[in-house]
């Protein structure tokens, strides 16, 4: 299940703990959501490139197990954006929860 617009803040949240490469970002999101959120490469990498273009993340190449990997890290602007996104998500999810409780 993938909600439109949910990937960018999830990437920022993942990078809050430190630099990571794309495959591992996707795997950690999937694992922590118990498989509910499963983003494929065709969705993940355009999101990473978009976040980088906005200055919210920065990339660099690092060798891992003899292979060059593109790592991403959160920028100061990305940290600010994440804080705003979290606040907006809490407001949104709270409102949806209220509506679902009312419908019961």
pLDDT in tens, 60-75: 999 988 999 999 999 9
Would you say residue 71 lies in a domain?
yes
Q: Which domain holds residue 78?
A: 7-103
CATH number at residue 87: 1.10.10.10
Would you say residue 2 lies in a domain?
no
Count of structural domains, the chain: 1
* Chain segment 21-72, per-residue pLDDT in tens: 999 999 999 999 999 999 888 899 999 999 999 999 999 999 988 999 999 9
pLDDT of residue 29: 95
Q: Is the model's pLDDT at 1 over the cut of 50?
A: no
Would you say residue 97 lies in a domain?
yes
pLDDT of residue 6: 83
Would you say residue 79 lies in a domain?
yes
Would you say residue 35 lies in a domain?
yes
Would you say residue 1 lies in a domain?
no
pLDDT of residue 39: 87
Task: Give 37-44 contacts, CB < 8 A, sequence gap 24+.
Answer: 37/1, 37/2, 37/6, 37/10, 38/1, 38/2, 39/2, 39/7, 43/2, 43/7, 44/7, 44/11
């Amino acid at each position: 299940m993938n909600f439109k617009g949910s990937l960018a803040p999830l990437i920022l949240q993942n990078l809050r703990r430190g630099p990571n490469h794309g495959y591992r970002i996707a795997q950690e999101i999937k694992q922590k959501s118990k498989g509910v959120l499963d983003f494929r490469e065709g969705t993940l990498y355009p999101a990473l490139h978009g976040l980088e273009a906005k200055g919210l993340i920065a990339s660099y190449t690092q060798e891992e197990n003899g292979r060059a990997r593109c790592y991403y890290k959160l920028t100061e602007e990305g940290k600010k954006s994440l804080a705003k996104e979290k606040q907006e998500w809490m407001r949104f999810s709270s409102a949806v929860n209220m509506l679902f409780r009312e419908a019961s």
